[in-house]
Amino acid sequence: MDVKTQSESAVATSPDIAGSAATAPKASVEEKESVGSFLWFLAKLLIAVLIFRSFVFSPFSIPSESMLPRLMNGDYLLAAKWPYGASQYSLPFNAPLIPGRILANEPEHGDVVIFKHPIDKTDYIKRVIGLPGDTVALVDGQIMLNGELVERVPIDDFIVPMSVNTSCAWGGEETENTTGEPVCRYTRFRETLPNGVTYDVLDFGNVPADSFPPKVIAEGEMFVLGDNRDNSRDSRFEARSGDAVGIVSQDLLVGEAAIIMWSTDGSAEWINPISWFTAARWNRIGGTL
Protein backbone atom coordinates (compact mmCIF):
# COMPACT_ATOMS: atom_id res chain seq x y z
CA MET A 1 0.00 0.00 0.00
CA ASP A 2 2.83 2.41 0.81
CA VAL A 3 4.48 1.72 -2.55
CA LYS A 4 1.23 2.30 -4.41
CA THR A 5 0.52 5.51 -2.54
CA GLN A 6 4.00 6.83 -3.24
CA SER A 7 3.66 5.97 -6.88
CA GLU A 8 0.33 7.75 -7.18
CA SER A 9 1.72 10.74 -5.31
CA ALA A 10 4.69 10.93 -7.64
CA VAL A 11 2.48 10.94 -10.72
CA ALA A 12 0.15 13.52 -9.22
CA THR A 13 2.94 15.93 -8.29
CA SER A 14 4.69 15.71 -11.69
CA PRO A 15 2.14 16.97 -14.23
CA ASP A 16 4.72 17.89 -16.93
CA ILE A 17 6.23 14.42 -16.96
CA ALA A 18 2.79 12.82 -16.87
CA GLY A 19 1.61 15.01 -19.76
CA SER A 20 4.60 14.09 -21.85
CA ALA A 21 4.16 10.42 -21.12
CA ALA A 22 0.49 10.60 -22.06
CA THR A 23 0.65 12.69 -25.30
CA ALA A 24 3.83 11.51 -27.02
CA PRO A 25 2.48 8.11 -28.09
CA LYS A 26 -0.75 9.74 -29.34
CA ALA A 27 1.13 12.21 -31.56
CA SER A 28 3.28 9.43 -32.94
CA VAL A 29 0.24 7.31 -33.83
CA GLU A 30 -1.49 10.25 -35.51
CA GLU A 31 1.62 11.01 -37.55
CA LYS A 32 1.86 7.40 -38.71
CA GLU A 33 -1.83 7.37 -39.57
CA SER A 34 -1.42 10.59 -41.56
CA VAL A 35 1.53 9.24 -43.55
CA GLY A 36 -0.26 5.95 -44.11
CA SER A 37 -3.42 7.70 -45.30
CA PHE A 38 -1.43 9.84 -47.73
CA LEU A 39 0.40 6.81 -49.14
CA TRP A 40 -2.89 4.95 -49.53
CA PHE A 41 -4.36 7.97 -51.32
CA LEU A 42 -1.38 7.98 -53.72
CA ALA A 43 -1.78 4.26 -54.30
CA LYS A 44 -5.50 4.66 -55.11
CA LEU A 45 -4.74 7.60 -57.39
CA LEU A 46 -2.10 5.57 -59.24
CA ILE A 47 -4.49 2.65 -59.63
CA ALA A 48 -7.21 4.98 -60.94
CA VAL A 49 -4.83 6.56 -63.45
CA LEU A 50 -3.64 3.13 -64.64
CA ILE A 51 -7.20 1.91 -65.07
CA PHE A 52 -8.18 5.09 -66.93
CA ARG A 53 -5.19 4.95 -69.27
CA SER A 54 -5.52 1.21 -69.84
CA PHE A 55 -9.26 0.96 -70.50
CA VAL A 56 -10.75 4.45 -71.06
CA PHE A 57 -8.52 7.06 -72.72
CA SER A 58 -4.79 7.31 -73.27
CA PRO A 59 -2.63 10.04 -74.87
CA PHE A 60 -0.54 9.49 -77.99
CA SER A 61 1.66 11.74 -80.11
CA ILE A 62 1.97 11.86 -83.90
CA PRO A 63 5.64 11.71 -84.95
CA SER A 64 5.27 11.58 -88.75
CA GLU A 65 3.27 12.86 -91.72
CA SER A 66 1.83 9.52 -92.89
CA MET A 67 -1.70 10.57 -91.85
CA LEU A 68 -1.75 14.00 -93.47
CA PRO A 69 -3.96 15.88 -94.06
CA ARG A 70 -6.01 14.87 -90.99
CA LEU A 71 -3.14 14.32 -88.55
CA MET A 72 0.08 16.31 -88.48
CA ASN A 73 3.48 15.76 -86.94
CA GLY A 74 3.24 17.46 -83.56
CA ASP A 75 -0.39 16.55 -82.86
CA TYR A 76 -1.18 15.01 -79.48
CA LEU A 77 -4.38 13.02 -79.34
CA LEU A 78 -6.52 10.98 -77.01
CA ALA A 79 -7.40 7.45 -78.05
CA ALA A 80 -10.45 5.63 -76.77
CA LYS A 81 -9.28 2.32 -75.33
CA TRP A 82 -12.60 0.47 -74.98
CA PRO A 83 -14.03 0.21 -78.55
CA TYR A 84 -12.06 -2.90 -79.58
CA GLY A 85 -11.74 -4.68 -76.26
CA ALA A 86 -8.68 -5.10 -74.07
CA SER A 87 -5.47 -7.10 -74.27
CA GLN A 88 -1.97 -6.95 -72.87
CA TYR A 89 -1.33 -4.13 -75.35
CA SER A 90 -3.85 -2.02 -73.46
CA LEU A 91 -1.63 -2.12 -70.39
CA PRO A 92 1.52 -0.15 -69.55
CA PHE A 93 4.68 -1.83 -70.86
CA ASN A 94 2.48 -4.44 -72.61
CA ALA A 95 2.23 -6.30 -69.31
CA PRO A 96 1.08 -9.88 -70.10
CA LEU A 97 -1.77 -9.84 -67.57
CA ILE A 98 -4.70 -10.25 -69.96
CA PRO A 99 -4.96 -13.50 -71.93
CA GLY A 100 -5.86 -12.82 -75.55
CA ARG A 101 -8.30 -9.97 -76.21
CA ILE A 102 -11.33 -9.73 -73.95
CA LEU A 103 -14.62 -8.03 -74.89
CA ALA A 104 -13.22 -7.96 -78.42
CA ASN A 105 -14.96 -5.85 -81.05
CA GLU A 106 -13.99 -5.50 -84.69
CA PRO A 107 -13.18 -2.03 -86.04
CA GLU A 108 -15.29 -0.54 -88.81
CA HIS A 109 -14.19 0.51 -92.27
CA GLY A 110 -12.65 3.97 -92.08
CA ASP A 111 -11.74 3.88 -88.38
CA VAL A 112 -8.46 5.56 -87.48
CA VAL A 113 -6.84 2.97 -85.25
CA ILE A 114 -3.76 2.73 -83.06
CA PHE A 115 -2.09 -0.65 -82.96
CA LYS A 116 1.20 -2.31 -82.14
CA HIS A 117 3.66 -3.01 -84.94
CA PRO A 118 3.57 -6.77 -85.65
CA ILE A 119 7.31 -7.12 -85.08
CA ASP A 120 8.76 -4.39 -82.85
CA LYS A 121 5.49 -3.61 -80.97
CA THR A 122 5.80 0.18 -81.28
CA ASP A 123 2.60 2.21 -81.67
CA TYR A 124 1.36 2.94 -85.21
CA ILE A 125 -1.70 4.80 -86.46
CA LYS A 126 -3.47 4.12 -89.77
CA ARG A 127 -6.94 3.97 -91.30
CA VAL A 128 -8.80 0.65 -91.58
CA ILE A 129 -9.67 -0.12 -95.20
CA GLY A 130 -10.16 -3.90 -95.30
CA LEU A 131 -11.67 -6.33 -92.78
CA PRO A 132 -12.01 -10.13 -92.72
CA GLY A 133 -13.59 -11.44 -95.91
CA ASP A 134 -12.86 -8.26 -97.88
CA THR A 135 -10.81 -8.34 -101.05
CA VAL A 136 -8.57 -5.27 -101.22
CA ALA A 137 -6.55 -4.01 -104.17
CA LEU A 138 -5.16 -0.73 -105.48
CA VAL A 139 -5.37 0.29 -109.12
CA ASP A 140 -3.42 3.42 -110.13
CA GLY A 141 -3.63 4.66 -106.55
CA GLN A 142 -7.37 4.09 -106.21
CA ILE A 143 -8.69 1.54 -103.72
CA MET A 144 -10.69 -1.37 -105.05
CA LEU A 145 -12.78 -2.96 -102.31
CA ASN A 146 -14.59 -6.20 -103.07
CA GLY A 147 -14.28 -5.62 -106.80
CA GLU A 148 -15.59 -2.04 -106.75
CA LEU A 149 -13.47 1.11 -107.00
CA VAL A 150 -13.83 3.29 -103.92
CA GLU A 151 -15.16 6.71 -104.86
CA ARG A 152 -12.35 9.28 -105.01
CA VAL A 153 -12.80 12.83 -106.29
CA PRO A 154 -10.27 15.69 -106.49
CA ILE A 155 -10.85 18.67 -104.19
CA ASP A 156 -8.93 21.84 -103.39
CA ASP A 157 -5.22 21.42 -102.76
CA PHE A 158 -4.13 20.93 -99.17
CA ILE A 159 -1.94 23.81 -98.03
CA VAL A 160 0.04 23.35 -94.84
CA PRO A 161 2.34 25.91 -93.16
CA MET A 162 5.94 24.74 -93.06
CA SER A 163 7.56 24.55 -89.64
CA VAL A 164 10.02 22.59 -87.53
CA ASN A 165 7.49 19.74 -87.44
CA THR A 166 6.23 20.01 -91.01
CA SER A 167 8.44 19.81 -94.07
CA CYS A 168 7.53 19.81 -97.75
CA ALA A 169 7.83 16.22 -98.98
CA TRP A 170 8.91 15.28 -102.49
CA GLY A 171 5.34 15.30 -103.78
CA GLY A 172 4.55 18.78 -102.52
CA GLU A 173 5.10 22.22 -103.99
CA GLU A 174 6.89 24.71 -101.75
CA THR A 175 5.37 28.16 -102.09
CA GLU A 176 4.16 31.12 -99.98
CA ASN A 177 0.78 32.16 -98.64
CA THR A 178 -0.71 35.62 -98.94
CA THR A 179 1.35 36.89 -95.99
CA GLY A 180 4.61 35.61 -97.42
CA GLU A 181 4.98 32.66 -95.07
CA PRO A 182 6.35 29.38 -96.50
CA VAL A 183 3.74 26.70 -97.10
CA CYS A 184 3.57 23.37 -98.87
CA ARG A 185 0.85 22.55 -101.40
CA TYR A 186 -0.33 18.97 -101.97
CA THR A 187 -2.83 17.44 -104.38
CA ARG A 188 -5.84 16.29 -102.35
CA PHE A 189 -8.70 13.88 -102.95
CA ARG A 190 -11.79 12.91 -101.00
CA GLU A 191 -12.50 9.22 -100.60
CA THR A 192 -15.85 7.72 -99.61
CA LEU A 193 -15.99 4.12 -98.48
CA PRO A 194 -19.05 1.95 -99.20
CA ASN A 195 -20.28 2.44 -95.60
CA GLY A 196 -20.36 6.21 -96.12
CA VAL A 197 -17.20 7.15 -94.19
CA THR A 198 -15.56 10.12 -95.93
CA TYR A 199 -12.04 11.45 -95.44
CA ASP A 200 -9.32 13.31 -97.35
CA VAL A 201 -6.13 11.79 -98.76
CA LEU A 202 -3.00 13.14 -100.41
CA ASP A 203 -1.50 11.77 -103.61
CA PHE A 204 1.93 12.66 -104.96
CA GLY A 205 1.46 11.04 -108.35
CA ASN A 206 2.19 7.67 -109.92
CA VAL A 207 4.44 5.48 -107.74
CA PRO A 208 4.98 1.69 -107.63
CA ALA A 209 2.86 1.28 -104.47
CA ASP A 210 -0.17 2.68 -106.34
CA SER A 211 -0.69 -0.84 -107.66
CA PHE A 212 -1.45 -3.68 -105.24
CA PRO A 213 -2.82 -7.07 -106.33
CA PRO A 214 -6.09 -8.32 -104.83
CA LYS A 215 -5.70 -9.65 -101.32
CA VAL A 216 -8.39 -11.43 -99.28
CA ILE A 217 -8.21 -10.36 -95.66
CA ALA A 218 -8.16 -13.34 -93.32
CA GLU A 219 -10.18 -13.77 -90.14
CA GLY A 220 -8.87 -11.62 -87.29
CA GLU A 221 -6.80 -9.36 -89.56
CA MET A 222 -7.17 -5.88 -91.09
CA PHE A 223 -5.76 -3.98 -94.05
CA VAL A 224 -4.67 -0.45 -93.14
CA LEU A 225 -3.49 2.55 -95.16
CA GLY A 226 -2.11 5.96 -94.34
CA ASP A 227 -4.07 8.96 -95.64
CA ASN A 228 -0.82 10.38 -97.03
CA ARG A 229 -0.77 7.55 -99.55
CA ASP A 230 2.67 8.01 -101.04
CA ASN A 231 4.34 8.67 -97.69
CA SER A 232 3.04 5.75 -95.65
CA ARG A 233 4.51 2.32 -94.94
CA ASP A 234 1.31 0.39 -94.44
CA SER A 235 -0.37 -2.89 -95.41
CA ARG A 236 0.84 -2.63 -99.01
CA PHE A 237 4.33 -3.56 -97.81
CA GLU A 238 5.78 -6.54 -95.99
CA ALA A 239 6.09 -5.97 -92.26
CA ARG A 240 9.59 -4.97 -91.16
CA SER A 241 10.82 -3.77 -87.78
CA GLY A 242 10.85 0.02 -87.68
CA ASP A 243 9.22 0.17 -91.11
CA ALA A 244 6.08 -1.13 -92.82
CA VAL A 245 3.33 -2.90 -90.88
CA GLY A 246 1.98 -5.42 -93.40
CA ILE A 247 -1.43 -7.02 -92.85
CA VAL A 248 -2.17 -6.38 -89.17
CA SER A 249 -3.71 -8.76 -86.63
CA GLN A 250 -6.66 -7.25 -84.78
CA ASP A 251 -5.16 -8.67 -81.60
CA LEU A 252 -2.62 -5.83 -81.84
CA LEU A 253 -5.28 -3.12 -81.59
CA VAL A 254 -4.72 -0.55 -78.85
CA GLY A 255 -7.52 1.95 -79.40
CA GLU A 256 -9.40 4.30 -81.70
CA ALA A 257 -8.14 7.85 -82.27
CA ALA A 258 -10.73 10.18 -80.80
CA ILE A 259 -9.73 13.83 -80.35
CA ILE A 260 -6.73 16.13 -80.82
CA MET A 261 -5.96 17.56 -77.40
CA TRP A 262 -2.86 19.59 -78.37
CA SER A 263 -0.82 20.48 -81.43
CA THR A 264 2.48 22.28 -81.85
CA ASP A 265 4.55 23.32 -84.86
CA GLY A 266 7.75 22.43 -82.99
CA SER A 267 9.09 25.97 -82.59
CA ALA A 268 8.64 26.17 -78.80
CA GLU A 269 11.71 26.68 -76.61
CA TRP A 270 11.85 25.73 -72.95
CA ILE A 271 13.63 28.95 -72.01
CA ASN A 272 11.00 31.06 -73.73
CA PRO A 273 7.53 30.51 -72.20
CA ILE A 274 5.91 32.83 -74.73
CA SER A 275 6.95 30.43 -77.49
CA TRP A 276 4.91 27.69 -75.82
CA PHE A 277 1.80 29.59 -76.88
CA THR A 278 2.97 30.92 -80.25
CA ALA A 279 3.98 27.39 -81.30
CA ALA A 280 0.52 25.99 -80.61
CA ARG A 281 -1.73 25.22 -83.56
CA TRP A 282 -4.84 26.47 -81.78
CA ASN A 283 -7.16 25.76 -84.71
CA ARG A 284 -6.42 22.04 -84.46
CA ILE A 285 -7.00 21.58 -80.75
CA GLY A 286 -10.30 19.84 -80.01
CA GLY A 287 -10.68 18.40 -83.49
CA THR A 288 -12.36 14.98 -83.54
CA LEU A 289 -11.32 12.04 -85.71
User: Distance between CA atoms of 107 and 113, rounded to whole angstroms?
Assistant: 8
Per annotation, catalytic residue among 66, 87, 163, 263: 66
CA atoms of 149 and 130, how far apart (whole Å): 13
249 is catalytic: no
Task: State the DSSP code for 264.
Answer: B
Q: Residues 200, 208, 66, 238: what is their CA dihedral angle, to the nearest 10 degrees?
A: 120
Classify 6 in phi/psi space as left (phi over 0), alpha (psi -120 to 50) or beta: alpha
In the three-class reduction of DSSP (H, G, I as helix; E, B as strand; rest coil), residue 158 is classed as strand
> How many other C-beta atoms lie within 10 A of the C-beta of residue 238?
11
26 assigned to active site: no
Pairing of strands 253-263, 75-80: antiparallel
* Choice among 87, 90, 126, 163 that is catalytic: 126
Residue (of 124, 130, 158) closest to 143 by Cα position: 130
CA 81/CA 222 separation, integer angstroms:
18
Non-local (6+) Cβ contacts of 234 within 8 A are 66, 126, 224, 225, 226, 244, 245
Active site residues: 66, 126
